[in-house]
Structure 1
Amino acid sequence: MSNFNAKIIVDAKEKTKAIFQSINTDNEFYPENPTKTRMSMDDKITITIESEYIPHLRANLNSTLRLIQASYDSIESVKI
């Protein structure tokens, strides 16, 4: 069976570290995740998602993108 994969690179400038800490925490505490999700950060966030089933990949991809957007929006809402 072939695997499906997706790679996301996020550059949120000065918000990158805060977003990474937010979404990586969620990833670390979800061991029963049916996809293999790896996250790393240098000056950008790199997220790699692998799955044997495309619906699982799509669901994880959508959730991850929503978490990134929610984190970014939350940071923006408290801008001083």
Structure 2
Amino acid sequence: MTLKFSAKITVDAKDKTKAIFDSVNTDNEFYPENPVKTEIKLDKKMTISVESEHLPHLRANLNSTLRLIQASNETIESVKI
């Protein structure tokens, strides 16, 4: 029997959510060999769903994605006029 691990994260960055989504989703789309099934959706909030058979892979993917979200948010904040 193979176990699957999964996580779902919702991000609400108000008016910055779409810009952050575009940044994170672009990175996700150009990494087809990712061992973690990663799905990112945007409605009013951004939802990130990840699934993997290996817990360390899932954790690493989440850490990378959350750091990218944080970096995107901080970059947007730094250029506000």
TM tier relative to shorter chain: over 0.9
Paired letter, 1:54:
L
Q: How far, CA to CA, are the matches of 1:6 and 1:67 in structure 2?
A: 17
Q: TM-score, normalised by structure 2?
A: 0.98
Q: How far, CA to CA, are the matches of 2:12 and 2:57 in structure 1?
A: 25
In structure 2, runs of 5+ residues without a counterpart are none
Aligned residues: 80
Within 5 A, what are the aligned runs for 1:2-21?
Answer: 2-21=3-22
Post-superposition Cα deviations, 1:5-47, rounded to whole Å, max 9, x if no partner, equal: 0101000000000000000000000001010000000000000
Structure 1 residue 2: Cα displacement: 1.0
Q: How far, CA to CA, are the matches of 2:40 and 2:59 in structure 1?
A: 17
In structure 1, runs of 5+ residues without a counterpart are none
